[in-house]
A and B are shown apart, each in its own frame.
Chain A
């Protein structure tokens, strides 16, 4: 073990364990960006805890030289909630995947979000089960042929962003494994957010689902398929930045700028607009580009603050608990 010293560089967050993801896995990029970001957050290493479930993504804590807990399938949000409630001063992170977070642990994900426990959740979405060698996941598309769906998947997929917004998460974002700067920026915002932060990271599994996000990651197709959300900016995308998103009644529509369509008609992104966030979350190909960025960022009392405030208030009202008084509550009698 090293002696305590202020962590200043990426290296301080690297463990002595060999990273065992497949060569070429998108997880490497995510790990590198998170390790790079950590020193910039100014949080002492010993105050940081990474908690994960089961799956490829959930190996993440072994590679972060912080406190870490590689738990069981789907349960990381529950473990993180108990830790953060009793130790609110810690910076608590949950690393999960599309199977871990949306299938076996879907219930816990909903509840950690609605309680608004101040944890940062990174959900690596590769639309496949990698660790069990290639079965379809709850985000796999209809018709997906995998080992367990030789005739094509008939399960309608979950949309992680809509799920998080449905649970009224206070911070909801999407980024891409290979978009290094964007990923760092989104994760930085997530860590600064007070409350549950949900970040879907589109991640490539080059072994079992290679190219799942290639329209968003390939140089020549990215501009046409990804819509980068920026606070206060109109929703514009395309190689020539000549397409935009406009309201048409209660529906969104893609319009081409020029041809009598003015930029001022386009929707302007606002992270505090709930309705807009949900509409944006429904945008998917082929009709729409895929929005990337921060869908929603609002403030609401966090669970960890509320539970500790309640304890403090009771103590203020009733005084610090006295065991002898507690034992003798109710009717008592003396036997001489």
Chain B
């Protein structure tokens, strides 16, 4: 990490030494037009921050339109990063720093900025035309409406062009480097090392070195502007966090998911087959897996969602670790095939990266409203295990676990991630491959005593007998099976037996689920129960409440079906139960039905994660009510 003192010393004489202020955490948001490269700037600020040793969490927020009309409110794209010298669980409720590249970005984001927060804007972009597009009646930079913030109107556009004007580049190309000016300036402001970004630019623009050089020049110009200008008198230092020792990288949920599946297939000693149709926000799993074919990874971009899962099921029949990745609308199309997998009892993972709905809904915004779809969204009684990762890095662990359960129990498994986990990033303690558990997997080869639906006495799984095995030729299908032989059977009692044994097989997975990890006292006033991507907000909120002296605990479910065996007991040890969810109340419905507990929901359906404050406020009201 570059020490602020030495950076300042290096240019001593160019200006007065800057004041260095200690902060234990900072939330910064980059916002601009969707063509302004804000995601890229945010990503690299994140990388620099990770290398500086802080704990962090990120939240990208971009519009569904690839290129909404430039300068409009619909086209604003944002990237938020929370970094700290302590543990970080969320991307932060309200930014301390906002970088707004145009008036639209200011308008969309300004209400979130903390009072006295740092506001950096590209001054030249606040022209009449852009102000009109952003529906400003007067220029906010001059009308006093931003007085409660530390406003820094920087000539981002002019500085960019000045840095490049001897290169003979078209204006359009020069303008594309503006994000690196903002990145350079903020990197200086928070003393982030820019070397990793320079290395990345050199790599990325190997084939177009002029563009690469332009970006590097602008990045440095941003840094140097901060250092030399009188405008900024303070830089900020956020000391490295105390983090478990080891080697780290930043990882998004989708990348962690892809790696988890690759690792699981490797540990099972089988090829991985992904059948998928492009859909936001799941496509990155398809992209990631397409780059690792030397791990025996087959990727099949199918003609539609149904063919994606169909091909995966065919690969499962042949003995591959089979996966289909999608989002809610795709799950709807796959329902019939999921039920076929349940009927033929073949292992298959359905990775649903949830987004706002119904229908096309909010493709780029997060929601966790497919729980009941996964649980019940098929004809008839069709039980299926459901797993949900809690954080981006947890996607790796749960993807691995999904494969293990699928092949152990010969069942399709739902892996429920969401847009927030998919695109959010956090530092990941890189595991050692050899430390990962092996996934035991044995195909049936012995014809003696073989029946297609002969069940393992413990797991109730049927044998996996793959084509190519002599003597085990058999037929499977979606018609009801005879209990042992698997032959077609319409016998009434057999059907009931089969429905019950399928249910019992899935319910029996509970034996594999470890006891719940209750954060906070084991009993008390209030238990906050969550699942999926709300982990960070709920963990932060419950810590705050405990610091305030309340007996509040947090339990986060990663197994949604079956539910952990000790959940009923844990629930019973608290006077009140709060279930915050980014839906209209799905888990709370299951808990109330399953445990007859008077659990209360906190529901947010805005395509955005919970703010810590929202959860604290609701919990506080409940605590007051019960006094």
Tell me the A residues contacting B by CB distance below 8 Å. Answer: 1-4, 15, 17, 44-49, 51, 54, 61-62, 64-73, 75, 77-87, 89-90, 107-108, 110-111, 307, 310-311, 314-315, 317-324, 326-336
B86 to chain A, nearest CB (A): 14
- Name the one of A4, A68, A334 contacting B470, with C-beta atoms under 8 angstroms: A4
> Judging by beta carbons under 8 Å apart, are B469 and A46 in contact?
yes
With A75-B307, A79-B311, A81-B307 already in contact, 7 other A-B pairs whose C-beta atoms are closer than 8 Å:
A47-B467, A62-B477, A69-B344, A82-B273, A110-B303, A334-B246, A335-B243
Task: Check B226 for interface membership: any CB of A closer than 8 A.
Answer: no
Interface bin, chain B: 35 or more
Mind listing 11 A-B residue pairs with CB under 8 Å? A4-B471, A47-B467, A69-B344, A75-B306, A82-B273, A85-B300, A107-B307, A111-B302, A323-B266, A335-B244, A335-B245
Residues of B within 8 A of A68 (CB): 473-477
**Would A327 and B273 be within 8 Å (CB), given that A333-B53, A334-B247 are in contact?**
no
Q: Does B51 contact A (CB under 8 A)?
A: yes
User: Which chain B residues (434-481) contact chain A, with CB distance < 8 Å?
Assistant: 436, 447, 450-451, 466-479
Does B181 make an interface contact (CB < 8 A)?
Answer: no
Contact partners of A46 in chain B: CB under 8 A: 467-473
Closest to A80 in B: B314
Bound CA–CA A89/B246 (angstroms): 44
On chain B, the residues within 8 Å of A87 by CB distance are: 318-319, 466-468
Q: Report whether A67 and B474 are in contact in the complex, using a CB–CB cutoff of 8 Å.
A: yes
Docked-complex contact A311 and B473, CB < 8 angstroms: no
Q: Is the CB of B262 within 8 A of A326?
A: yes
Enumerate chain A residues within 8 angstroms of B319, measured Cβ to Cβ.
86-87
B250 CB–A CB distance under 8 Å: yes
B286-318 at interface with A (beta carbon < 8 Å): 292-298, 300, 302-304, 306-308, 310-318
> Shortest CB–CB separation between residue A324 and chain B, in angstroms?
5
Contact of B307 among A44, A73, A84, A111 (CB under 8 A): A111
In the complex, identify which listed stretch (B425-433, B504-512, B536-544) lies at the interface while the others stay far away.
B425-433
Smallest beta-carbon distance B475→chain A, Å: 4
Given A323-B263, A331-B249, A332-B248; A70-B468 close (CB under 8 Å): no
Interface residue B47 (Cβ < 8 Å from any Cβ of A):
yes
For A79, A87, A108, the residue with the greatest tally of chain B CB atoms inside 10 Å of its CB is: A79
CA distance A62 to B481 in the complex (A): 12
A85 and B450 within 8 A (CB): no
Of the residues A15, A78, A84, contact of B306 by C-beta under 8 Å? A78
Which residue from chain A places its CB closest to the CB of B299 in the assembled complex? A307
Q: Which residues of B are found within 8 Å of A71, using beta-carbon distances?
A: 310, 313, 340, 477-478
Known: A3-B447, A67-B473, A68-B475. A86 touches B293 (CB 8 A): no
Is B92's beta carbon under 8 Å from chain A? no
Residue pair B292, A321 in contact (C-beta under 8 Å):
yes
Structural contact, B262 and A81, CB atoms closer than 8 A: no
Known: A61-B475, A62-B475. A86 touches B320 (CB 8 A): yes
Say yes or no: B471 contacts A318, CB within 8 Å. Answer: no
Contact B294 A82 (CB under 8 A): no
Residues on A with C-beta less than 8 A from B250 are 330-331
B271 at the interface (CB under 8 A from A): yes
| Contacting residues, chain B, for A323 (C-beta < 8 A) | 262-263, 266, 295, 433, 436
Task: Give every chain B residue within 8 A of A317 (Cβ-Cβ).
Answer: 294
Which of the residues A1, A73, A75 comes within 8 Å of B472, measured between beta carbons? A1
B468 with A82: CB separation less than 8 A: no
B259 CB within 8 Å of chain A: yes
- Give A324's nearest chain B residue, CB to CB: B433
Given contacts A321-B292, A323-B266, A326-B259, whether A78 and B249 have CB atoms under 8 Å apart is: no
Known: A78-B302, A82-B311. A326 touches B488 (CB 8 A): no
A75 and B53 within 8 A (CB): no
Residues from chain B with a CB closer than 8 A to the CB of A4 are 447, 470-471
Tell me which residues across on chain B come within 8 A of A70, comparing CB atoms.
Answer: 475-479
- Is B494 part of the contact surface with A, judged by Cβ < 8 Å? no
Q: Which residues of A contact B315 (CB under 8 A)?
A: 82-83, 85-86
A110: nearest residue on chain B (CB-CB)?
B303
Residues of B within 8 A of A67 (CB): 467, 473-475
Pair B53/A45 contact, Cβ less than 8 Å: no
Q: Is the CB–CB distance between A83 and B247 below 8 Å?
A: no
Q: Does B32 contact A (CB under 8 A)?
A: no
Do most interface residues of chain B lie in helix, strand or loop, or is the interface mixed? mixed
Distance of B406 from chain A, by nearest CB (Å): 16
Are B300 and A81 in contact, CB atoms less than 8 angstroms apart?
yes
- Knowing A71-B310, A311-B298, the reply to whether A336 touches B474 (Cβ < 8 A) is no
Within 8 Å of chain A (Cβ to Cβ): is B50?
yes
Q: Which of B303, B313, B436, B451 contacts A108 (CB 8 A)?
A: B303
Contact B246 A335 (CB under 8 A): yes
Do A335 and B340 contact each other (CB < 8 Å), given the known contacts A47-B468, A78-B311, A82-B315?
no
Nearest A residue to B246 by beta-carbon distance? A335
Residues of A within 8 A of B50 (CB): 331, 333
Pick from A75, A89, A324: contact of B337, CB under 8 Å: A75
In the complex, residue of chain A having the shortest beta-carbon distance to the beta carbon of B322? A82
B356 adjacent to chain A (CB < 8 Å): no
Is B470 in contact with A107, judged by CB distance below 8 angstroms?
Answer: no
Q: Is the CB of B487 within 8 A of A17?
A: yes
Is B523's CB within 8 Å of the partner chain A?
no
| Closest Cβ–Cβ distance, residue B547 to chain A (whole Å) | 26
Cα(A314)–Cα(B293), bound, Å: 7
**B275: interface (CB < 8 Å):** yes
Task: Say yes or no for B336: interface residue by CB 8 A criterion.
Answer: yes
State in angstroms the CA–CA spacing of A13 and B246 once bound together: 59
Does B196 have its Cβ within 8 Å of any Cβ on chain A?
yes
Query: Which residue among A2, A77, A78 has the maximum number of chain B CB atoms within 10 Å of its CB?
Result: A78
| In the bound complex, CA of A245 to CA of B316 (Å) | 49
**Which chain A residue lies CB-closest to B475?**
A68
Contact with A along B264-275 (1 / 0, CB 8 A): 001000010101
Best-buried of B247, B259, B292, B467 by chain A (most CB within 10 Å): B467
Q: Measured between alpha carbons, how far is A219 from B302 in the docked complex, in Å?
A: 45
Q: Which of B300, B307, B314, B337 has the most CB of A within 10 A?
A: B314
In the complex, which residue of chain A has the Cβ closest to the Cβ of B465?
A: A67
B246 contacts across to A, CB distance below 8 A: 334-335
B304 to A, closest residue via Cβ: A107
On whether A72 and B247 interact (CB within 8 A), knowing A1-B471, A1-B472, A83-B318, the answer reads no
Within the assembled complex, what's the spacing in Å between the Cα atoms of A83 and B313? Answer: 8
| A81-B314 contact given A86-B271, A310-B293, CB 8 Å threshold | yes
Instruction: Give every chain A residue within 8 A of B340 (Cβ-Cβ).
Output: 71-72
Instruction: Kindly identify, within residues 240 to 257 of chain B, every residue whose CB is under 8 Å from any CB belonging to chain A.
Output: 243-250
User: How many Å from the CB of B50 to the closest CB on chain A?
Assistant: 6
Q: How far is the CA of A321 from the CA of B272 in the complex (A)?
A: 13
In angstroms, Cα B248 to Cα A330, docked, is 10
CB distance from B127 to the nearest CB of A (A): 38
A61 touches which of B300, B306, B316, B477 (Cβ 8 Å): B477
CA distance A293 to B144 in the complex (A): 84
Could you say which residues of chain A place their CB within 8 Å of the CB of B244? 335
Q: Which 4 A-B pairs have the closest CB atoms?
A: A70-B477, A78-B310, A82-B314, A82-B311
Q: Is A328's CB under 8 angstroms from B310's CB?
A: no
Task: Give A51 to B313 CA distance when docked, in angstroms.
Answer: 12
Closest A residue, CB atoms, query B302: A78
Q: Are A320 and B294 in contact (CB under 8 A)?
A: yes
Complex Cα distance, B322 from A335, in Å, reads 36
Q: Verify A332–B477 contact, CB threshold 8 A.
A: no
Contacts of B433 in A (CB 8 A): 322-324, 327
- Given A87-B318, A321-B296, are A82 and B275 also a contact pair (CB < 8 Å)? yes
C-alpha spacing A111/B531, complex, angstroms: 39
Contacts of B262 in A (CB 8 A): 321, 323, 326
CA distance A61 to B475 in the complex (A): 7
Residue of B with least CB distance to A78: B310
Interchain nearest-CB distance for A206 vs B (Å): 23
Query: Are B467 and A330 in touch, CB under 8 angstroms?
Result: no
Cβ distance B553 to chain A, nearest Cβ, rounded Å = 29
Partner of B471, one of A2, A49, A327, A334: A2
